Amino acid sequence: MSIDAVPPLKSAQLGSDSHSDLNSNEGSNDTNSDEPALEFVVELALPVPLLRTFDYLPVAGESRSIYHPGQRVRVDFGRQLLTGIVINTRSDTEVPHNKLKPLLARLDDKPLLEPEDLALARWMADYYHHSLGEVLEHWLPTMLRRGCSLSEAEERSWGRTAIKPSDDESANEAQVKGEKLRGERQQALWQRFCEQPEIAHRTLTQAGFTLAQCRKLEALGYITEQQSVPLPAVTTTPKPDLPLNPQQQAALTALSAELGSFRACLLEGVTGSGKTEVYLQLLNQVLERGQQALVLVPEIGLTPQTVQRFQERFNVPVALLHSGLNDRERLQAWRSAREGKARILIGTRSAVFTPLPDLGLIILDEEHDGSFKQQDGLRYSARDFALLRARRANIPVVLGSATPALETLQNALKGRYLHLKLSQRAGNAKPPKMKLHSILHQKLIGGLAEPVLNAMHQHLHNNKQVLVFINRRGFAPLLACRQCGWMAECRHCDARMTLHQYPPHLHCHHCDAQQAIPKQCPQCNSPEIEGLGQGTERLEDELAVLFPTTPVRRVDRDTVRTKSAFDDLFNEIHNGGSCILVGTQMLAKGHHFPDVTLVVIVDSDAGLFSADFRGMEHSAQLIQQVSGRAGRANNPGEVWIQTLYADHPQLNLLIDNGYHALALSMLEQRLEQHLPPYSHMAILRSECEDKAIAQQFLQQARQLTQHWLQHYSNSQAPVSLMGPFPAIMERRNGRFRFQLQLFCPQRQALHQTLDGLLQQLHGLKGFGKVRWHLDVDPLDTL
């Protein structure tokens, strides 16, 4: 999205259209003349899927002066108890007085959200055509949405007192009130406080220290007990900056010049070019200015590795926000960022909403990654919202990628974004040699061609590591009968069940349905049923047979379900020594494996003929990112790509000339076809257990859109409609899915059309069984 084309905030649209359909009491519409005069009402945003706000009476006895926008309140809404956000107070309302309900409680004395937060939320509600109350939920961690207080982020901690050993006195020799520390554990505990002045009690117990040991230090006057929000450990000896090559230095100089004002910057650097080092040195300048920084990363798996590098370089608290944290940990990180204690916040998509009072820089690493786009509920783009937030805060935003999204690249080529390039790898590392290998009419052993196996033997013999990439979990993508051709299909989806062996079961990766593996064919009773095709589990087993003396490690969602499992596995990989890594796209997310010198892509053909117009773009990004794991240190790397279509022109363009050349070619095709980024797009999707009703709903939506365009639209920009037609997977989780696509060369004209359509759809009768949603700037058309 071009930040220059963002529609303006329409604060009145959601702020003044208040209704009381569901917050009213039973009774007559006639107001009672004996009722006391109405002093004021509180206008609220509630987390319900209605495009309006709601009026309530204040808590009995409370004055208007203590209500402020951004406060939380507790309300009775129908049969639910909800936490709402105060938007405004007014002296009048269109709701009859006897229909107004009072607030149950005011939860905050001071607003949790600033006026700027509310303005950004209004923009998002308007742009994505979503409920303001549901949008505001993304600004608050779960515990605050449930009505908990900020103080619940606090926990028992211990703080070092001013008394500490003198410069010539070790911690073991420290004396307080004439007494010496006794025992190795107490000395080790005190050493912890010499390194860090405040430590959460939970952290100490996890390290094996007891409450009695803490009480002893407290009695000696070394530490005091307190309630506080625990902060991450801060290193006392930060690692120095690494030397930059001329391209890195030029990029850093250009980015430094943008600090203090808004500028969208694309840092397009090949894999291994040292983009992270540029980030780190730029962040150091932001911290020197007394400001905070927000760093967004695409996957939870990338976060621990990134946090470690940041913690080693800065002696400031670095907070972490991602879905792997529990609710209290998320509240603690949110509060430390909001209060300015955490100077750097690293997080995944939802961290983009976190309040940061001194924000001076936003960085999106791997900005092309699809995980920055929410795929359910509020379908927002964290990248696009980061651009808007940076513009309104008048700060720069850095978008980093080796394979930028075509929308981002087009904005850079048009001069809307500052375009910086890193075309060479950092240090002495060289780009890997790319080899496209045809497997047409070739015999495969374990899914791999003989030349590929020979290359693996050679690299492993040199005590290096080999990464084998296959983007398919499980043992086999299909279980079939050799006698009658029966295939194990999901009963709820137009998809086949994936065969898993660890543990043994059939699993639909679309609706999560699972069932036991049959012992014989359900159709002909033949025992000759087998798995066809290859997944990570089968490839792991076959490689263990082909390379019996080499450890084989599988990396997918089934093996690294927890943060600790992920950390343990990657620590083992970084310890060095020959091994084979088998995995899915989890291995392609910016990880640094210095001993990987060979990458094998088992099947590169999945996205070459996708029905989604972004299929080739996503496939090329994945191939390039996986290939970038090879040869990142001083050892030369190579990449073998197996394909049935070695003469595919776009695949050859990628291998011979790189992603940038292919991206320019794809942009030309998009321009000819009037597809994004040269037009703006939205998809209206419907789903229902009744196929006909799902389709009829979108047929009605198309007719309403056409009628609105003919009679009410004042724009000269044409809005094109495609559909309705079935989704590529028509039935999923027992529901039939259809979509209606809308295109327009002007963003404002598209949104005016969507406004007109949605006003009519919300009043449409007879489609109560249909689930539908609007996806603005969709990531795919699947």
Pick the range with the lowest mean pLDDT from 85-94, 177-186, 513-522. Answer: 177-186
Q: What is the pLDDT of residues 335-364, one digit of tens each?
A: 999 999 999 999 999 999 999 999 999 999
Give how far Cα 205 sits from Cα of 201, 309, 455, 506, 567, Å: 6, 26, 49, 42, 21
pLDDT confidence bin for 310, thresholds 50/70/90: confident
**Distance (Å, whole) CA 357 – CA 364:** 19
Q: What is the pLDDT of residue 590?
A: 64
Q: What is the pLDDT of residues 65-117, one digit of tens each?
A: 999 999 999 999 988 999 999 999 999 999 988 889 999 999 999 999 999 99
Rounded average pLDDT over 537-549: 95
Contacts 24+ apart (CB under 8 A), 66-69: 66/106, 66/109, 67/42, 67/106, 68/110, 68/111, 69/111, 69/113, 69/115, 69/118
Beta bridge partners of 687: 737, 771
Q: Which is nearest to 780 in space by CA: 616, 669, 589, 622?
A: 616
Q: Which is nearest to 529 in space by CA: 481, 478, 477, 476?
A: 481
Instruction: Give Dmax over CA atoms of the chain in angstroms.
Output: 94
**Distance (Å, whole) CA 618 – CA 584:** 15
pLDDT confidence bin for 700, thresholds 50/70/90: very high
Say whether 90 sits in a helix, a strand or coil. Answer: strand
pLDDT confidence bin for 426, thresholds 50/70/90: confident
Q: What is the pLDDT of residue 1?
A: 57
Whether the CB-CB separation of 479 and 517 falls below 8 Å is answered with yes
668 exposure class (CB count in 10 Å sphere: 0-12, 13-18, 19+):
exposed
Q: What single string gives the DSSP state of each residue in 642-702?
A: EES-TT-HHHHHHHHH-HHHHHHHHHHHHHHHT-TTSSEEEEEEEEESSHHHHHHHHHHHH
Q: What is the pLDDT of residues 638-678, one digit of tens each?
A: 999 999 999 999 999 999 999 999 999 999 999 999 999 99
- Inter-helix orientation angle 649-657/615-627, to 10°: 40
| Helical segments of 46-183, H only | 115-127, 132-137, 142-145
Percent of the chain with pLDDT over 70: 91
Q: What is the pLDDT of residues 434-446, one digit of tens each?
A: 999 999 999 999 9
Say whether 327 sits in a helix, a strand or coil. Answer: helix
End-to-end CA distance of the chain: 20
Higher pLDDT pick, 124 / 716:
124
pLDDT confidence bin for 631, thresholds 50/70/90: confident
Percent of the chain with pLDDT over 90: 68
- Which pair of structure tokens corresponds to residue 185? 């554990």
Q: Name the residue with tokens 């006897």.
A: 98
**Distance (Å, whole) CA 25 – CA 38:** 16
Task: Check pLDDT > 50 for residue 172.
Answer: no
